[in-house]
Amino acid sequence: MLKPSWAAVMLASCCSAAQAENAIERISIYANRLPTAESQVLASVTVLERDDIVSRQATDLPTLLAQMPGINIARDGGRGQNSSLYLRGGNSGHTLVLIDGVRTGSATLGYKALAMVPLELIERIEVIRGPRAAWYGADALSGVIAISTRKAQGTEINANVGSFGQAGTDLSVSQQVGDLTVSATAGYSRADGFNVRKDLDADRDGYQQRFAKVAAEYQSTVGTWQAQFDINSGFNQFDTAWGTEDEADTLSRSYLLGWQHAVGEWQHQAQLSRVLDDDTSFGPDSRSPFVTERDEVNYQTSTSLTEQLTGLAGVNWYSEDVARSGVNYVIDSRINRAFFTGMSFKQQQLQLEGSVRRDVTDQYGGNTTWQLAAGYFFSEAWQVRASRGAAFKAPTFNDLYYPGSANPDLAPEQTVSDEVAIHYRASNGSIQLVWFENDVDNLIQFDMATFMPQNIEKAQISGAELVINVDVAEIQQQFAYSWIDTENTLTGQRLVRRPENTLNWRAERQWGKISAFVSADYQSNTYQGPFASQEYLGGFTVWGVGASYPVSNSLIVRANLANLFDKRYQTNASYTTAGVNFGLSLSYRPQ
């Protein structure tokens, strides 16, 4: 799906004018595949724009996502090392990651590795909590993380240094000639890191990374044409108790061609893409490459059928291939074909939405997913909404065909999710309280007894979220609390690495030119499983502070301290996390 920038800008302008001076309406691009004011979306959505991302001064993408409602991150060390994401208690593979509307991630692993996605290339992040398979197909069981990469405007130079030998720089430029706009961003970062497992190697585990993006956009009488090329290559070290491989080369490369056009009441969008994901682990005795490719075609059209009714329909096709690997897969390619459609109705205080999608693959048959939602505004401030949706996840190539530890008889995971929410909005903030429940049938879990993945009968996930944004006494505060109850019905145990309670708090204030913030992130203890070095890990709270200062109209200095009180904690058994660490960055934009 293309990011409809022209429509989003128009809608944002209209919504902003209608809000109070200190409240800017955020726009959801991906929740309904159309730009929609966040207050009109019948789902739980959090949007971070580029200014939000920069002001938080997070060291990497997993650190940033861990500060958002409903998300927990389990890290195998620091920056560059593997991170597992759990959205509303779902597995890592239950969250679909889109980058510029393109499905991403390794077809062998079944999810996107987030640790090496550079924040410097990100313009916008939209997190949709709750199933969205009726719009996007497989993998969107727990939600969708939609990332929009940067489109440079003018020239900008950034540089940063920090603890553990962290250093990086990036340059963005753009040029407009008539109806053609060309932009480019390139950068480099590295760190010595720290020893992520003291019971194994005594060395530091660092990383290096290079990334670049080149994009062009052309306005014509028959629509807007977009083309872009992204490349992100890197190297990271890690510690593992399995074998001797403790280093990895990574490469992500994508090509994208898009078109969008408005003809009367009809909006048309089309997109072609190719994504390569290469992860090669190596050590003194072996080398294990895993290279997968995905070609994808998207088309959608939408129109206002009446003043109250809007309709959308589209088709999606993608092929996944194991292009190269260190082992032989019995089957190394598959094709998915899909059709989706949906409608939204709004009249006075009432909103109704419905969507349905049919996916058919040559590997595991067909799956139909659907979504229904309703919302009612009791007043301009109070809204209640409810939704129910079905979703599925296909078994990965590793699940089905990895030699010695695969199960070709696996069935797709199936879920039905319910959500009820009440939302209050005021001129100085908002409060949202959400209850959700997700029943997962045929959950795929790795069985250490048989050393292969198995479909367990069912997993049950339920929880609640309280999200508060408020501006009081010139202090902007963001508060998010999540309670999650998970159970593997086969064993009666909680699902691993899902804390029952999570709290994120951030407060920011402006003093003249100086802007400063303080943050606190808490999670309760986590069950690690019977085969982990520690069956349970204790809870913890991590504090952070930061500030920014514009030296001039062109130069901004930012500094922060993370893990302020040097808390010793773990999110994955045996793996250490960073102690107190600092960061310093400069941003220069010629006027």
217 part of a folded domain: no
**Does 215 reside within a domain?**
no
Quote the CA–CA distance of 305 and 265 in Å, as a whole number.
9
The per-residue pLDDT for 24 is 67
Name the nearest CA neighbour of 417 among 446, 439, 400.
Answer: 439
pLDDT at 564 over 80: yes
Domain assignment present for 320: yes
Say yes or no to pLDDT of 26 above 60.
yes
Q: Examine residue 551 and state whether it is found in any structural domain, yes or no.
A: no
Whether 550 is in a domain gets the answer: no
H-state helical runs in 107-206: 133-136
> What are residue 537's DSSP bridge partners?
526
Contact 406, 325 (CB under 8 A): no
Please report the sign of the dihedral spanned by the C-alpha atoms of residue 112, residue 113, residue 116, residue 119. positive
What integer pLDDT is reported at residue 14 of this predicted model? 38
Rounded CA-CA distance 379/406 in Å is: 54
Q: What is the mean pLDDT of residues 134-154?
A: 95
The confidence score (pLDDT) of residue 448 equals 77
**pLDDT over threshold 50, residue 134:** yes
Is residue 536 included in any domain, yes or no?
no
136 close to 144: Cβ distance less than 8 angstroms: yes
pLDDT above 60 for 335: yes
Indicate the number of domains in the chain: 1
Give me the percent of the chain exceeding a pLDDT of 90: 85
Within a domain: residue 438?
A: yes
* Torsion sign (Cα): 125, 128, 134, 139: positive
**Alpha helices, H only, 59-168:** 61-65, 133-136
Task: Indicate whether 377 pLDDT > 90.
Answer: yes
- pLDDT tens sequence across 436-478: 999 999 988 888 778 899 998 789 999 999 999 999 999 999 9
Decide if 208 contacts 234 (C-beta within 8 A).
yes
Which domain CATH number covers 19?
A: 2.40.170.20
Q: What's the 3-state SS for 312-336?
A: EEEEEEEEEEEEEECCCCCCCEEEE
Residues 59-79 pLDDT 10s: 999 999 999 999 999 999 999
What pLDDT is recorded for position 383? 97
On the question of pLDDT at 16 being above 80, the answer is no
Mean pLDDT in the chain? 93
At 22 the pLDDT is 40
Domain of residue 434 covers: 5-149+250-511+523-531
Q: Is residue 331 part of a domain?
A: yes
Choice between 580 and 24, residue whose per-residue pLDDT is larger? 580
pLDDT exceeds cutoff 50 at 20:
no
pLDDT band of residue 8 (cuts 50, 70, 90) is: very low
Least confident segment among 30-34, 89-93, 255-259, 296-300: 89-93
Kindly report, residue by residue over 363-374, the tens digit of the pLDDT. 888 999 999 999
